[in-house]
Copies of this chain bind each other. A is one copy, B any other.
Amino acid sequence: MIPDEEFMQSDSVPGPSKEEIRCLVMCKAMINSEDVVVDVGCGSGGFTVESAHKARKVIALDKNPEAIEITSKNIQKHKIQDKVQLIEGDALKVIEQLNPFDVLLVGGSSGDLPQIIAKGLEKLNTNGRVLITSILLETRVEAVQTLKKMGLSPEVVEVTIAKGKMMERGTMMMGRNPITITSAVKK
């Protein structure tokens, strides 16, 4: 996994997701070298960069121009330009134009999560995976309910990480914000 400090960060854009969350999302996404991945609300590009190391192609979307800018820098830094298509725009409109794909990652959703999942699932190939990472209580429930409504069986994993900070007196445990990963496979 790529260490957190090897990503460039922007003050005005959330992310990138911490190493452990990127790791778990990648494990659950089961991306292979033939897969096309769509990263909705790519933020700082954490999932974009990780996915590009495994997939055939990654399409990264965000409606925030500052997110596009910092993701673009991380794409350069990690030398994955050949594999990534970066699109500034509204997720719902962009997804409609896309060809079918294999993995749908949803980080940011700006209030449109149910519609993004629904539209994304239409374009997802059979055996494709959808993964939603939530930092809000509300989007956890939206993710579960939308996936169930679409006939899928969601898996829900809440991850709480604390990291040791080495001090003279000992190892101080520093808590992180809990993240929920909701995922499903399209049958």
Contacts and interface: CB of A to CB of B under 8 A. Distances in A.
A162 B169 CA distance: 24
A16 to B, nearest CB: 15
Given A137-B144, A139-B170, A160-B160, 19 more contacts: A1-B28, A20-B24, A23-B27, A136-B172, A137-B171, A138-B170, A138-B171, A155-B163, A155-B164, A156-B163, A157-B161, A158-B162, A158-B164, A158-B178, A160-B161, A160-B162, A162-B177, A173-B178, A175-B177
15 contacts: A1-B27, A23-B28, A136-B171, A136-B172, A137-B137, A137-B173, A138-B141, A138-B144, A138-B145, A148-B166, A154-B166, A155-B164, A156-B164, A157-B163, A175-B177
